[in-house]
Copies of this chain bind each other. A is one copy, B any other.
Amino acid sequence: MNTDWIAVDWGTSSLRAWAIDAQGATLDTAQSTKGMGTLAPSEFEAALLELIEPWIKGSSANAPMQIIACGMVGARQGWIEALYAKVPSLPISATLTKAPTQDPRLDVQIVPGLSQSTPADVMRGEETQIAGFQAQFPKFDGIICLPGTHTKWAHVSAGEVVSFQSFMTGEMFALLSKHSVLKHSLRDGTWDDTAFDDALADTLSRPEKLASKLFTLRAEDLLKGLDGGAAKARLSGLLIGAELAAAKPYWLGQMVALIGDDGLTDLYASALKTQGIIAQRTNPTDMTLAGLKSARASILE
C-alpha cells in the first residue's frame, strides 16, 4: 500500500481516517468510537495510532506520515488548540496547528476553526465541509446550512465565509426529548409529516409560539393521548420553525446548500421547501474528505 498522507475527521463522539495515495485516491478507511469527548489529551496519539498503524509502516522520523485532522480534536479540550481564523476568511486558512507526538513517524496537522466577533460565534469541523463544498462547486455563492447538534448557517461569497450563525436546535431536541417532562409523551411511533409541517408553520410565522407550544405536547397527551411519533414530529417542527424564523436573513431569497446526515437534513430540506427554496444536497462525509484534501493542498502550496 502506498499511503501518501492520512485524512482524519475527529469529532466529539467518533474518529474516522482515510489513507490517501499520491493521486488523491482513497486506499483504505478506518473508524472508531474514540471521539475526543471520550479521551484525555494524553490518549489522543494512542487512539489515532490504533487506527492508522497499518498505513504508516514505511514512515520514519526522517519521512514522517502527514496527517491532516479536523474537528473537535482542535478544541481547547482536544489534542492541541488550533486557534480560530476570523471571518471573513477562507474556510481553511493556510496555517494549520501541529500537534505534539511521541511517535516521530507522525506529523499531525490540525485545521483551525472559524470565529466571528459580532455576534460571537464559533465553528470547528464545519469549515472543512464548507471548504470541501467549495472545492466541488467553486462558483457557489450563497448560503450553506449544516444541520446537526449545533446547526450552522454560513454566508459564502467569493470563496470566503462572510458570516455565520449557530443554532442549538438539535441539542434542544435531544434535551427536551430525553430529559424534560416531555420525554413521557415523546414515545417511539410513526413520524407524522403533517404534524411536522403544521408545527413548523406555527413557529416560522410566529416564533414566540415556541415557548407556549412546548408544554401542550405533554398536556395533549395527558388529556387525549397523543401518538409518540406525532409528538416528536411536532417538537421537531416547532424547533426548526423557530430556527428558520431567526435565520431568515440568511436564507430569504438565497441559494441554499445543505450538508448533513440524511434524517435531520431531510427535515431542513422539507422546511425550506415550504418557503419555496429547493436546497442543494451533498453528502457530509464526502464534503469532509474533500475539505481535508483542500487543507492538504493549501499546505503544499
Interface residues of A (CB under 8 A from B): 76, 84, 115-117, 119-122, 150, 165-169, 171-172, 175-176, 179-182, 207-216, 218-220, 222-224, 239, 242-243, 245-248
Contact = CB atoms under 8 A, between A and B. Distances in A.
A224 B179 contact: no
B208 A242 contact: yes
Contact of A167 (B117, B121, B215, B220): B215
13 contacts: A115-B222, A115-B223, A120-B224, A121-B215, A121-B219, A122-B222, A167-B215, A175-B180, A207-B210, A208-B208, A210-B210, A211-B247, A212-B247
Top-4 shortest CB links A-B: A207-B208, A120-B220, A166-B215, A120-B219
A88 to B, nearest CB: 16
B211 A243 contact: yes
B245 A208 contact: yes
Contact of A121 (B165, B169, B216, B224): B216
Nearest to A209: B246
Given A120-B219, A171-B181, A210-B242, 14 more contacts: A76-B222, A119-B212, A121-B215, A122-B219, A122-B222, A166-B215, A167-B215, A168-B180, A171-B180, A179-B179, A207-B207, A208-B248, A211-B243, A211-B245
Given A179-B175, A179-B179, A243-B211, A166 B219 contact: yes
A58 to B, nearest CB: 39
A168 B215 contact: yes
B216 A167 contact: no
B180 A212 contact: no
Contacts of A243: 211
B119 A150 contact: no
Nearest to A117: B223
A65 to B, nearest CB: 31
Nearest to A215: B166
Nearest to A214: B168
A22 to B, nearest CB: 38
A101 B76 CA distance: 58
B180 A246 contact: no
Interface centre among A166, A175, A179, A208 (most CB of B within 10 A): A208
B211 A242 contact: yes
